[in-house]
Amino acid sequence: MEKLDFYINGSWVTPSGVKTLDVINPASEEKVTKISLGDASHVNEAVQAARKAFETYSQTPVEQRIDLLTTIREIYKRRLDDVADAIQTEMGAPTYLAKGAQAMVGLGHLKAAIRSLTNHNFEYEHGNFIIRHEPIGVCGLITPWNWPVNQVVSKLAPCLAAGCTAILKPSEIAPLSSMIIAEILDEAKVPAGVFNLINGMGPVVGEAMSAHPDIDMMSFTGSTRGGGCSCKSLR
């Protein structure tokens, strides 16, 4: 089955007039599916959705974000086999590694985010000052092909916990597990625009994200190519 859709503003959308890329299982060297390759226009669409969603999501009570992350974790647990199958397909990983280690680590990151959010003090006095922790804004997340779920959830879970919104660009080599995660967030009813996913190449989508003036923070793991050639300062 082809995986041509992006997840933008709470809906799966099929981009028109774009190039596609075959996803290859490296264990068998067989084509397993096809994805769309986005461009700067899709980044702009996702950023607009994330910027609008940030206005309300950043103001949600901590208890509400804890409930949301808990729901995401419960759905993830139920779909653990789907996540593992996607990892095995896109990476050619053996079953024991795909499920026993790589898929399971996503549950651990979600649990850690829930625990941290439960115990975190967002405002406190420090001498004659008040220290207040606030969400930074729209976050661009770029992840590599190796250990894809670990990279995605270790970025995404704290982003959602903090009250930020996100645009995710997974590796074009291993996008399938990220698309399962998008399905999980959709089922959990994450508010529209809070999470967005665009597939594409680093020098195109990655660069558009890294240079975008309305993305407040970039987090990418990988080479310079993964984040594009004109990365803004990470902060």
- Whether 233 is covered by a domain: the verdict is no
- CA–CA separation, 11 and 49 (whole Å): 11
Per-residue pLDDT tens over the stretch 119-153: 999 999 999 999 999 999 999 999 999 999 999 99
The count of other CB atoms within 10 Å of the CB of residue 103 is 26
Do residues 32 and 24 make contact, with C-beta atoms less than 8 angstroms apart?
yes
Q: Which residues contact 165 (CB under 8 A, 6 or more apart)?
A: 50, 51, 53, 54, 57, 58, 137, 138, 139, 159, 193, 194, 195, 196
- Whether 28 is covered by a domain: the verdict is no
Do residues 75 and 184 make contact, with C-beta atoms less than 8 angstroms apart?
yes
Task: Please give the average per-residue pLDDT across 147-162, as a whole number.
Answer: 97
Per-residue pLDDT tens over the stretch 30-73: 999 999 999 999 999 999 999 999 999 999 999 999 999 999 99
Count: domains in the chain:
1
**The amino acid at 125:** E
- Whether 22 is covered by a domain: the verdict is no
Residue 19 pLDDT > 80, yes or no?
yes
Q: What percent of the chain has pLDDT over 90?
A: 90
CATH number at residue 151: 3.40.605.10
More confident residue, 77 or 96: 77
Domain extent at residue 182: 34-121+137-227
State the alpha helices, DSSP H only, in 58-91: 62-78, 80-91
- Whether 222 is covered by a domain: the verdict is yes
- Whether 11 is covered by a domain: the verdict is no
Do residues 131 and 158 make contact, with C-beta atoms less than 8 angstroms apart?
no
pLDDT of residue 1: 80
pLDDT class of 224 with cuts at 50, 70, 90 = low
